[in-house]
Amino acid sequence: MKITTANITPYPEEIEQWWWNQSIDKWPDIGEAKILRFLQEEIVTQSDRFNKERHFTPKSYGSRDLSILAYGNFYFPRTWTHLSYVLAEALDLREWTPPRKGPLTILDLGCGSGATSLSALRTLRDRGIENPIELRAIDYSGKSLDYFRNLHSGLYKLWPGSKIETKRTDLCSDIPNRHGAKYDLILLGSTLNEIIPEDEPEIYARKLGDVASLLKPSGFLVVMEPALKEGCRRLQKAAAMLAEVRRIHLHAPYFNGKGCPLVNADSPFHSHEVRSWKVPQVAKKINEPLGLNLVDLKFGFVLLSKKPPRQFDATHAIFRLVSPVSKRRGLYFFVGIAAEGSERTYEIQTRDLESGDRELVESLQRGDILELKEHLPLGDGKRIRIPNARAIKTLFAPR
């Protein structure tokens, strides 16, 4: 049993240092300790807004240097890494193929200071994609767009051959489209949850459809949202609604165009990733008195396209983990959504594991996609026994 199938583009130390230098330049006379206190106080406010209040206005965090610098030093690397995981899945598992010739066109709606966009640019370059890249980035905050442009130009060596165009627009109104342009990749990074009322998945689905209409025939739409249960359920419900009524196909997180069965199920789990990453040193320093959980990256996502999804065998032997790996009574067990569309519990007895196998099983992460070469349905078939670790094949496990 081998775990890793894809290498995630790491967050560059150059960007970490760039954001910290911006903070020092903003307050050159007050010292590092006071700068840290400024950032920490603002991050507490932002954390409450993102995770508790869920109330956003143009003044929430895009109109002040302090809010943008706090985000840049603390949340920017997390958002960057979220996109690295999702784009790896689009490329390695879901058969998104960037154009071989000509410019690769990207649209980022609600780009902020550029974490999602720049992660995409760097990932594509790391994957050896050499096409010129044309990125159009849209946000309501002119100040955030200024930081975005400065970061792009200041560290241009990280994304050579790319050019960006920024536009200040409030996405609460219509989605802007320049001269009927179509895109190879469209990014929505924690955008729609901030501009659409929480209880209206129909509006959410309609807005998704408006955005998806801007895709090229083989283009992909990446939508990422915070890992809050109701928000993730709304995202999955809206994506499934859109796929039912339009010629837009749902590629991920599950299989064969099927939506999330957890949306209407009485389950303790909901559709989101929990991934590991290397926490930047500046973020660690800021977090020392705050004690926020930096170890786990949590986010929900969907991938949509006009082209049909890759077809997997419709079997419970292929599945995506939607729970942590747990242990009790001589068993490791976890919950997965199978390729045939159902929720199932998978288990493996500890007595059937050889030396080193326990560490491998425990290293599985929520979001990994596995295939069983051998398995045994138990009882009503909703429990699946895995005979040993050698029976597990990793289809997608980015690290």
Task: Supply the pLDDT for residue 60.
Answer: 53
> Which distant-in-sequence residues (6+ apart) come within 8 Å of 100 by Cβ?
131
Which is nearest to 212 in space by CA: 185, 244, 252?
Answer: 185
Domains identified in the chain and CATH numbers: 13-101+185-305 (no CATH), 318-396 (2.40.50.1010)
Q: Name the 3-class secondary structure at 267.
A: coil
Strand partners, 383: 345, 378
**CA 366-369-372 angle, 5° bins:** 120
Let me know: does 114 contact 83? Beta carbons within 8 Å: no
Residue 96 and residue 111: Cα distance in Å, rounded?
22
- 254 vs 261: CA distance, rounded Å: 10
* CA atoms of 19 and 123, how far apart (whole Å): 20
Evaluate the omega torsion of the peptide bond into residue 98 and state whether it is cis, within 30 degrees of 0: no
Q: What is the pLDDT of residue 369?
A: 98
Q: Which residues of 310-323 are buried (b: 16+ CB within 10 A; e: fewer)?
A: eebeeebbbbbbbb
Distance CA(81)–CA(42), nearest Å, equals 22
- One digit per residue, the tens of pLDDT, for the chain of length 399 reads 678 888 899 999 999 999 999 999 999 999 999 999 999 999 999 887 766 555 555 555 556 899 999 999 999 999 999 999 999 999 999 999 999 889 999 999 999 999 999 999 999 999 999 999 999 999 999 999 999 999 999 999 999 999 999 999 988 777 777 778 999 999 999 998 888 866 778 888 999 999 999 999 999 999 999 999 999 999 999 999 999 987 899 999 999 999 999 998 889 999 999 999 999 999 999 999 999 999 999 999 999 999 999 999 999 999 999 999 999 989 999 999 999 999 999 999 999 999 889 999 999 999 999 999 999 999 998 999 999 999 999 999 999
CB-based contact 51:226 (threshold 8 Å): yes
At 113 the pLDDT is 97
How far apart are alpha carbons 190 and 110 in whole angstroms?
Answer: 8
The three-state secondary structure class of 361 is helix
